[in-house]
Chains A and B, each alone.
Chain A
Amino acid sequence: MTTLGITINGQVHAPTEVRDDLSMNDFLREYLGMTGTKFGCGAAQCLSCVVIVDEPDGTCHTNPTCVTSAASFHGKTIRTVEGHAKNGELSPLQKAFIRHFAFQCGYCTAGFLNEGQVLLEQLARTPVPRAGLEERIAEALDGHLCRCTGYFKYHEAVLDVILSDAKRYLIQEPRG
């Protein structure tokens, strides 16, 4: 057994004793009832289960939860699909997913949302030139599986969010 203390969506969860072989996915879904994080394959191949891990240096990345033990998240700060909206206001990426009809059944949405959000935050920290943007989005989202919409609209939605706040995410090219 290991003690697991974790911060999820800004909420500190008191230390809990968990089995060493309990997966993070089951911790979220079975222990906390947070089923927004999905279970897809149990083999880190579809990435519908990823959450955002916030590092102390301010960077963030996604992490699959289906093959990762809950214990390995001890002391970490994570975000899940349930935490993107603030005070009843959807995040720009959530709004873009809806606006673009990015998903159909929606089962892969939490994973794409987390991956897209991480990309946005990475770009906000280190903007990129406009020229390679589509490739960057494609690389970021590529591990995620979607069976309904063929990915097109997810990519369009992320692109839309970036282009509509280009000053934040893109290197501003000198005019002329």
Chain B
Amino acid sequence: MGEGMGTSRREFMKWVSAGGITLSLSRLAAAEQVAFPVRETLPGRGKLNPAIGGAGRVDGVAKVTGSKLYASDFRANDLPGWPEKTSHAILVRAPDATHVYLGMDLARLSGALKPTVIVTAADLARINTRVPAYYEGDLFCPIGKTPLYMGQPVALLIFETFDVYDRARIALRDGTFVQFGEETGPIVMPNYAAYRFTRVAGATPDAPDVYSPVLAGWVTPGRTQASALPVWSSTAHKNEAGYEKAAVYGDQIRAEIAASESSALVLDRTFDTQSVDPMFMEPECGLGWYSAKDKALELVLGVQSPYEAAESIAFLLGETKASFKPSAINAQFAYVGGGFGGRDHTPFIFYVTLAAIFFPDRPVRLAHDRYQQFQAGIKRHAIKMRSRMSVDRASGKITAFAADHVLDGGGLANFSANVATCAATAAIGIYDVPKVDVTTVAEHTRGVTAGSMRGYGSLQTMTALEVLIDEAALALKLDPIDFRRRNALKQDGRTMTGNPYIVSVRSLEVLDKLEQHPIWQRRAAEKARAASGVLVGTGVACVTKDYGTGGDSSNGRVELGPDGRIAIFCDHVEMGNGIGTALASRVALHLGGIADEVAVSQVGVFDALELVTSGDCYTMDQKTQDKAEKDPRWVPSISSATSASIGAHVGTHAAAEAARVIFRFGLWPAALALWNIGPRDPRAKDFAKVQWKDGQLTMAGLPSLPLAKLAATAHARNLVTGAVAHGFSRWAWARARFPINGEQYRAEIDGLALRRGAGKFTRINRSSVLFPPTDNNRMGTAYTAACGATVRVEIEKATGALRIAKAYTAFECGQALVPEVVIGQAQGGFAMGVGYALLETLPPFEGGPGNGQWNLGQYLVARGSDLSLRDVEIELMPPLTPDELPKGMAEVVMIPIVPALLNAIHDAIGHRFAALPVTPAMLKGALA
């Protein structure tokens, strides 16, 4: 392959898991890439920002030439040191979860089609595998039990050759060979999570809150109740002081809303959202090879959470019988063909592992087809919501809001608890509401597992809210944008959990933009001039979305060669979000040149930091953190999963900080030496005054210095030429001081190792570390990005066919590292939002995807013709200040178009839909 993409296979992270298995991870290099010159491979080289001048993304050439990049592209013979031949496995799943599983009738696989190996629940019991707590539930449904959920695996069938596998999968396609007996009804399991978020603001905006989650902690009703759904009343929890207090305030808020009906506008509405599939383009896939002789397990995977995947696999095998227990696991992570959250903590990795372990010495490939991906891939939660809102008629101010959410979590817990809390804390959107009470419960059901997916709960609750807001504005005869403006949260206002945001709050600016846009301005005129047989309507919506998880880690390593070549290594995964390109841009701000090598999905190159961790960064108490941080190598979390929304903010942070250190202690002293500026010269401290221009370091009155010359000098003088950094954010970055060259260097990182000249990396002991307080875990979020949309629709009376006539979206994301990628994500979010509002839906349970019969024929996603591509305008707002940090925005951009479309439909036909999606048939029905 071209060296430009950076094979970076040279180092691996190694550590030993609790089960005594040595783990190592690395990024899977492209096995085969057309040999293009390096400068083609990294088209942005020499420019400060690879996006400037349309030079493209760092993985551009590989992706347009069909290079092997994705997990599904690799076979054993592509991988150095692996045996030549690849065997193939079929993961058989149960299409039923209300009857007892009796086993498989494999009579149709007779003779040559017989599987070489069959793996079932009994085999896992025999070798003693363990399931990590996060994935709790049988990996295979045992014979005699009712499956826990539709699509639960029952067996792996392994075939030695592709040909036999291919014939067998054709023979098994109808799924009827999985047999069931007596009807039992679905398995009943406890809810995954239940929380209540209640806030009562003080009498004035400046006064402290009377009660809030930040003040009192998060509350959850006890698990002592026998009812299917929690009983939220305060009287039901007399013995739980924390809960009872929240419930008393919450009940009061609800009583006040009910009592205000005579004087205020009170709306009490339900809204239901549907289950959808992320429908990333590459079905999940993996390759494994267990060498029994060496007791070494090799894996090729494509997930958003490499570190977690490796740890979970080690746990799975940690106590297996000797002949099935590897002493070492090496996992290689490939590019992913889309993720949208659906590849974060996916259980698919276990089945790849088991296929390899049960067919030792033969590489085995396990790949979902699209039916299986629909049957088992992680879904978006369907949510049933009931919302009540009271608005003072005189002021047009929302005085109180209460809501109850029930989420269908499907068969496994996955991220249900997190999605439930995220959905609940997003339920008041951009608004400042003094009294809020929201309950949420995520249920186990027999449906396909729901988990992390773009929009993550907020999409559902903010859609319901923005439709409710529209109805309230109309009922009050207020302009919908003016009504939103009156109620919008200002910069210092408090969120539902009782904390202010720590980043810019720009929803008012977004509202201004929406108001001024011709789509909004011309709404009456366009309605009036609608063609015969066509109804025209315009809608608007504005939302704000959290990003980050409140426990985000960033690992980055930057190396500068004596010739000025820059190499960057990062632990986050490239999902198409352009993180490689963003890294190159952010590092270039400090080092003046675009990297020659950018390696993502790295877990192997940060060893010099010698980091250790303990506890759970989300739940630990302050005392535990205070004690743990005394070890200068301890951090609350080493590596976290990648989501596109945190890519810019978190993924690039550590590499940017590493580059900053190299500049400060490498290139800057080199520049001083070249300029003959001595240490006592006042200019010796002017490092903030220099600028990079066309690859040259410039300072007024001094000759410009090219990067290569500075790098050579830094190497010759044994200055800092490489840095590895770690950052941790719990709604604020951890900070620490590091002694470098007799100076206490302060930065927003908690781990640092430096290389001088061509030497080795050495860890620098930090001092005065300041981790964000553990109480920050009580915040719902402190990072947010705003986005608004206005849309005009045309609906044919006769057919209900809807056309998007014009649409406009405005959003902000702080400093856009690669504006083209940001715009691309916004456009993709718009498309996904349109699909969610108008097209996509999966029925729960028996008729749904768990039956294994779903594909793109029934499941409709937005195509180009659904989007009126030329009539969609997307505006990326400039950062508030030139130095505003990047914000995560990949999630927010799909949200406002959904309620904006519903509001436009209402404007057009006078009917307000309270469930998604709104299809032409439903529109036709409403028009009849």
Contacts and interface: CB of A to CB of B under 8 A. Distances in A.
A72 interface: no
B610 interface: no
Interface in A107-153: 107-110, 113, 134, 138, 141-153
A33 B167 contact: no
A142 B861 CA distance: 12
Given A26-B162, A142-B865, A148-B338, A35 B576 contact: no
B57 interface: yes
Interface in B267-296: 278-283
B824 A43 contact: no
B70 to A, nearest CB: 7
Contact of A105 (B54, B170, B335, B370): B335
A150 B56 contact: no
A42 B855 contact: yes
A19 interface: yes
A169 interface: no
A140 to B, nearest CB: 10
A151 to B, nearest CB: 4
13 contacts: A33-B77, A43-B855, A88-B36, A90-B65, A104-B576, A141-B864, A144-B864, A145-B856, A145-B861, A147-B281, A148-B825, A149-B828, A151-B863
Contact of A148 (B51, B283, B828): B828
B864 to A, nearest CB: 4
Contacts of A38: 72, 281-282, 337
Given A36-B66, A141-B864, A142-B864, A41 B370 contact: yes
B857 A106 contact: no
A105 B865 contact: no
B336 interface: yes
Closest 4 pairs between A and B when the two form their complex, measured CB to CB: A36-B66, A105-B576, A104-B576, A107-B337
A34 B857 CA distance: 27
Nearest to A40: B281
Contact of A104 (B62, B68, B577, B832): B577
Interface in A63-110: 80-82, 84-85, 88, 90, 94, 97-101, 103-110
A21 interface: yes
B72 A147 contact: no
Contacts of B278: 147
A42 B72 CA distance: 14
B427 interface: no
Given A99-B54, A104-B824, A152 B65 contact: no
A114 B338 CA distance: 20
A108 B576 CA distance: 11
Interface of A: 19, 21-22, 26, 30, 33-43, 45-46, 48, 80-82, 84-85, 88, 90, 94, 97-101, 103-110, 113, 134, 138, 141-153, 155
Interface residues of B, number: 76
A151 B868 CA distance: 11
Given A88-B36, A105-B576, A147 B54 contact: no
A17 to B, nearest CB: 11
Interface of B: 34-37, 40, 43, 51, 54-57, 59-70, 72-75, 77-78, 162-163, 166-167, 170, 278-283, 335-340, 369-371, 575-578, 820-821, 823-825, 827-832, 855-857, 861-865, 867, 869-870, 872
A34 B163 CA distance: 17
B64 A145 contact: no
Given A90-B64, A101-B821, 13 more contacts: A40-B283, A41-B856, A45-B856, A45-B857, A88-B37, A100-B820, A101-B56, A103-B63, A147-B278, A147-B280, A149-B827, A150-B830, A151-B864
Nearest to A101: B820
Q: Chain A interface mostly helix, strand, loop or mixed?
A: loop
Nearest to A138: B864
A105 B338 contact: yes
A99 B56 contact: yes
B12 to A, nearest CB: 25
Nearest to B55: A99
A43 B829 contact: no
Contact of A151 (B78, B283, B338, B869): B869
Given A80-B66, A138-B864, A35 B72 contact: yes
Nearest to A31: B162
A37 B73 CA distance: 9
Contacts of B869: 138, 151-152, 155
B133 to A, nearest CB: 31
A2 B35 CA distance: 35
A153 B867 CA distance: 13
Given A21-B170, A103-B576, A145-B863, A41 B855 contact: yes
Nearest to B370: A41
A142 B866 CA distance: 9
B867 A150 contact: yes
A98 B281 contact: no
Contact of A106 (B63, B863, B872): B63
B576 A106 contact: yes
Nearest to B856: A45
B65 A36 contact: yes
A43 B173 CA distance: 13
Contacts of A103: 63-64, 576
Nearest to A140: B864
Nearest to A156: B869
A108 B856 contact: no
A150 B831 contact: yes
A85 B824 contact: no
A164 to B, nearest CB: 12
Given A41-B370, A90-B65, A107 B821 contact: no
Nearest to B59: A106
B864 A88 contact: no
Contacts of B830: 150
Chain A CB count within 10 A is highest, among B281, B827, B829, for B281
A30 to B, nearest CB: 5
Given A48-B281, A101-B821, A105-B336, A147 B65 contact: no
B282 A107 contact: yes
A131 to B, nearest CB: 13
B70 A107 contact: yes
Contacts of A144: 863-864
B576 A42 contact: no
B66 A147 contact: no
Given A19-B167, A35-B68, A38-B281, A101 B51 contact: yes
A134 B278 CA distance: 29
A84 B64 CA distance: 9
